[in-house]
Structure formats: C-alpha cells, structure tokens
Amino acid sequence: MPPVTRKCFADSSITPKICKMLRFTPDKNGDIDEIGTIITPPNINRYNVAFGETPTSFSVAEGSFTENLPQTSRKPLGRFLSFDVKRSLFSSTKRPADEQTTLEESPATKRLKEAEDAIKAITLNTQSDTSRRENIKTMVQRLSTDNDVIADGSRLYTLPTITGKHSDLKSISPDTMNDVISGCYDDEVEKVTIIDCRYPYEYEGGHIKGAINLYTHTAVKDFLIKHSMEQGSSKKHILIFHCEFSSERGPKMYRHLRSEDRNLNKECYPRLNFPEIYLLDSGYKAFYYKHLSLCSPQAYKPMLHKDHSADLRHFRAKSKSWTAGDRSSSSSRITLKF
C-alpha cells in the first residue's frame, strides 16, 4: 500500500494545527478512497465561517481527488487524535495533590498526624476495649519518647523552651515570658494564665503583671475544675507556673495540676484541659531583675523577709498538711508526661 500523504487545507494558517491533530489510520483492507471520510473534521461549517471555504481537497500518494462530503458522513475528529497528541495536550508536570502532600510532610508532621488519629480513635465510643487499650498504649509510648509534642499529643509546643532544673517539666526563660506578656505570641495563643505560687505576702510585695496567686493544692484544683467546662485540648490556653526561684513550690503546683487534670480526664486519655504548661525558669527573682517594668508593684519581697517570719511559719505548717495525704499514694502514681 503506498504511503499516505497529508494534504492540508487551502488556508495555510490552519495547516499546522489540523495536520498535527490528525493521524491517518485507514483499514489495511479498505479502499484508499475511503480515507476522505476518515480524516474529514466534524461540523465542517465551522471552517466555512472562519476561513471562507470548505476543505474538501486531499492528496493520497501521488494522486488527488475532490469530493463534496455530506455532513452526516463525517466521523468525530476526537476518535482519530493521536494518543501522543492527547497526552501532550492534557498532561501536566504538576504532581498529584496526594503525592505533593506526601513529599512535603516532615517527620514531626507525620508524628502529629499519627497522634491525632490515635486521639480520635480513643475518643470514639464505638471502638472495642482491645482497640482502646492498643491506642492508649501507642499514645503512652509516643508521649514518653517525643518531647516535641504537648501532653495530649495533639500539637507541638508553642513557646521556645530551655533546659531547666526539672527535666520532666517544660521551662521558658524570663525573656520568653517578656515576649508572651508583650503580645509576641498573640497570633498563636488564645489565652495565657500566669500562676504565681508564692505566699500571699510575697505576691502582694511585687508580682508579674496579670499573674494570679494560687499557692495551695485546693486553689489549683478549684482553678482546674472551674475551667474544665470551657476548656479543651484544641484551645490554646497555656499556663505558666512560677514561684520565687521556680525550684520547689512552682514545680509542685505544676505537677499537682497535671495530676488532677489526668484524673479528671481518665476516661478519655490523653485528653487534658490544660495540655500546654510551662515553668518560668529561675522564678520571679530572675524575671524581676531583667524586666522590672512588667512587675506590679515594681518590687521584690523574698520568702525569707524579716518582716514576715510569722507568715512564713504559718504557710510552711500548712504546706506540710497539704502534702501529708499525698505521700502515701505517690509511689503508686504513674507519670505519663508533663
């Protein structure tokens, strides 16, 4: 069979466009004259309007023929488009959305996604006891090995932390506290509560602006219960504890609130009302000497102040009674993550 030659239309401006889109694939047993009906574009009247004439002249091999083809005999052009042409026209170098997402996921993002899935699975009422235990085990393992996520595993810590005196607690520097009060994290944090755990005479003698004074276990627990109805793990309400040096009273109250929070939400672990808590490193004293203007009144009264020796004995005696009931059960408590 002689080679097929493409004869394009009289108007040379449309020649490259039409010829590139057509592939001539006549049946090997068919008559060569039938090729006219194969390559004739549909709705030929379009070309009459656009180019002023009807393309009906074609050349096959060395011969030529002219034919006025009826509209109804013309077959759809799309059936004869080259596969390669279709691919070049409609393909794209852009990666699929799911592939791009996979490539852009960082290890931390993947861990958070896994944690979110585990949290959702734990809170579903329809899951079996076996599945629930497995999900809890997974979350305990993750929280005990990943220090980048907050205590319910739902997201990363918002504030930059430092290595403080207490390895089980997240500590921030006085400068970070200054940034928080100055509003540097307002776009990331919905609410901040600073909890001053010093005795009342210390607090009244000078404290960080906006701080509240909670110095007993009962006061801390009441604060937790009060906010439990309006608080949730998804809301960014962070707490910052401190005392004079953040070496004893502040850390104790921090741990006490976390313990009570875990107990309050024991049926839906790892949910917490306050999953993101920090400790002000070196306490009020360090902050006072670096950021005096953010203290009210602008003064610092130490715990061992000579004018408050009687107050000190009173609050120390109370503190012994506060912890007396906790010592017997402290050995049986399981620390999950603070």
211-260: pLDDT as tens digits: 999 999 999 999 999 887 665 445 689 999 999 999 999 999 999 999 99
- Alpha-carbon distance 271 to 151, whole Å? 8
Q: CA torsion, points 105, 107, 109, 111, in degrees to nearest 10?
A: 140
The answer to whether 268 is a known catalytic residue is: no
CB count, 10 Å around CB of 21?
16
39-85: pLDDT as tens digits: 445 444 444 444 444 444 444 444 444 444 444 444 454 444 444 44
The active-site residue out of 197, 243, 268, 295 is: 243
- Record the pTM: 0.59
Strands 57-60 and 63-66: antiparallel
The single-letter DSSP state of residue 246 is: S
